[in-house]
């Protein structure tokens, strides 16, 4: 709750956004789609949706849990972080394919968590010096992110064994979950830009 409160205090100013908020709001969207698609009625199965619903007083649409929360979280992610329509379409398609019953949900979310964690760890390893670029070079940083994601998805040989193993794991997750290079680029780029803002904020406060 405190994370969401921090995210939207003072009308949702950009300065209050951070990586944790972005990841949490994305999780709300995932859980909302799952709840809506499968007709889940017990809100305890979707805890992030429960917190989101209570905090923003989201009304239940058509008696279906998740529908209103899906629309609201999607709107916030698009307005506050500039995510594209395709970002959400890929999530919808992946969940529809892999979560056909409630028994599928835990395995799917576990697999997605592994994909997200390995992807960010790998990108941090491969793009260390590039992440230190000033935020004003957004276009260049996005292009570099896109190229590195493409390498992860296509390159077969890496110099370091740990990088090779993680890259192979990410590629397997990608194929199983059905996410594109464009989706991966959009996700990573947003996390990187938010992380850079968090890092620079203490320096700005000292001035």
Distance CA 60, CA 50 (A): 11
75 and 138 belong to one structural domain: no
Q: Is the pLDDT of residue 3 over 90?
A: no
Tally of domains in the chain: 2
pLDDT at 39: 95
Q: Is the pLDDT of residue 8 over 70?
A: no
Strands (E), 15-153: none
Return the half-sphere exposure (C-beta side, CA atoms, 13 A cut-off) of residue 188.
32
Mean residue pLDDT of the chain comes to 87
Whether residue 93 is contained in a domain is answered as: no
191 and 116 belong to one structural domain: yes
119 and 191 belong to one structural domain: yes
Distance CA 29, CA 164 (A): 31
Please give the DSSP secondary-structure letter assigned to residue 158.
Answer: -
* Residue 178 region by backbone torsions, left for phi larger than 0, else alpha for psi between -120 and 50, else beta: left
Q: What phi and psi, each to the nearest 5 degrees, are found at residue 64?
A: -120, 115
* Span 61-104, pLDDT tens digits: 988 999 999 999 999 999 989 999 999 999 999 999 999 999 99
pLDDT band at residue 21 under the 50/70/90 scheme: confident
Q: Is the pLDDT of residue 172 over 60?
A: yes
For residue 74, how many other CB atoms are within 10 A of its CB?
Answer: 21
Hey, what's the torsion of the CAs at 120, 146, 139, 88, to 10 degrees? -70
pLDDT band at residue 185 under the 50/70/90 scheme: very high
69 and 120 belong to one structural domain: no
- For the chain, count helices (H), then strands (E): 9, 0
Q: Is the pLDDT of residue 50 over 50?
A: yes
Whether residue 191 is contained in a domain is answered as: yes
129 and 77 belong to one structural domain: no
Q: Is the pLDDT of residue 174 over 50?
A: yes
Q: Is the pLDDT of residue 166 over 90?
A: yes
pLDDT at 196: 79
* Span 104-151, pLDDT tens digits: 999 999 999 999 999 999 998 998 866 677 766 888 889 999 999 999
Q: Are 66 and 31 in contact (CB under 8 A)?
A: yes
Q: What phi and psi, each to the nearest 5 degrees, are found at residue 61?
A: -90, 125
**Range of 150's domain?**
100-207
Placement of tokens 């970002």 in the chain:
87
């Amino acid at each position: 709750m405190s994370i969401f409160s921090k995210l939207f205090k003072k009308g949702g100013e950009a300065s209050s956004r951070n990586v944790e908020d972005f990841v949490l709001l994305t999780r709300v969207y995932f859980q909302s789609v799952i709840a809506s698609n499968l007709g889940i009625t017990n809100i305890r199965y979707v805890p992030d949706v429960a917190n989101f619903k209570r905090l923003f007083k989201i009304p239940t649409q058509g008696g279906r849990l998740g529908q209103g929360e899906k629309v609201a979280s999607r709107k916030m992610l698009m307005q506050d972080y500039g995510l594209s329509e395709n970002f959400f379409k890929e999530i919808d398609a992946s969940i529809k394919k892999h979560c056909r019953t409630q028994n599928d949900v835990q395995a799917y979310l576990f697999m997605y968590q592994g994909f997200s964690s390995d992807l960010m760890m790998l990108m941090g390893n491969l793009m260390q010096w590039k992440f230190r670029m000033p935020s004003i070079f957004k276009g260049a940083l996005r292009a570099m992110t896109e190229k590195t994601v493409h390498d992860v998805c296509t390159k077969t040989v890496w110099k370091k064994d740990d990088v090779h193993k993680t890259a192979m794991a990410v590629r397997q997750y990608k194929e199983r979950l059905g996410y594109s290079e464009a989706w991966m680029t959009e996700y990573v780029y947003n996390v990187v830009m938010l992380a850079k803002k968090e890092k620079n904020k203490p320096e700005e406060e000292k001035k």
